[in-house]
């Protein structure tokens, strides 16, 4: 049985899940099915996009802003430009109260990537933005 199911079965429903859609996909799970399975626990979701590759290796790195995952490749991309089914995940996110834009690392201008992600998420209706 996958570890997340053990967690779901052995914690009260008041324990919430802050799920990261990129890592859910990287684990080989369908993000929409995962979000439906965690149900009302999925109040905060990280809609991180990128390239999912079986050959990537990741290491944790400490930065002035906290810990991030660093890859031997360039897996993280602005939302809407990678392989993650963000649109499908958003349709399953009926309990989500917050959709976070996140890139653990990025080869280009990070602030531009965050802005592109925000624009994609708000224009597609996945997130409301600051309205």
Question: Would you place residue 97 in the very low, low, confident or very high pLDDT band (cuts 50, 70, 90)?
Answer: very high
pLDDT in tens, 67-76: 877 766 667 8
- What is the rounded CA–CA span in Å between residue 49 and residue 120? 11
> Six-digit token pair at 55?
């050959």
What pTM value is reported for the model?
A: 0.82
pLDDT in tens, 8-47: 999 999 999 899 999 999 999 999 999 999 999 999 999 9
pLDDT for position 60 = 83
Please give the share of the chain, as a percent, with pLDDT higher than 90.
59
Q: Which residue has the tokens 């009926």?
A: 94
In angstroms, how far is CA 106 from the centroid of its own chain? Answer: 15
């Amino acid at each position: 049985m996958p570890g997340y199911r053990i967690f779901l079965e052995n914690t009260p429903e008041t324990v919430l899940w802050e799920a990261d859609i990129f890592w859910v996909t990287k684990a080989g799970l369908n993000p929409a099915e995962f979000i439906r399975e965690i149900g009302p626990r999925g109040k905060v979701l990280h809609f991180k996009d990128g390239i999912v590759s079986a050959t990537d290796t990741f290491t944790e790195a400490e930065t002035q802003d906290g810990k991030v995952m660093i890859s031997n490749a360039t897996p993280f991309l602005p939302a809407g430009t990678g392989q993650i089914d963000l649109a499908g995940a958003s349709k399953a996110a009926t309990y989500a109260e917050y959709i976070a834009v996140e890139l653990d690392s990025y080869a280009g201008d990070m602030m531009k990537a965050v802005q592109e992600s925000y624009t994609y998420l708000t224009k597609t209706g996945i997130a409301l933005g600051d309205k």
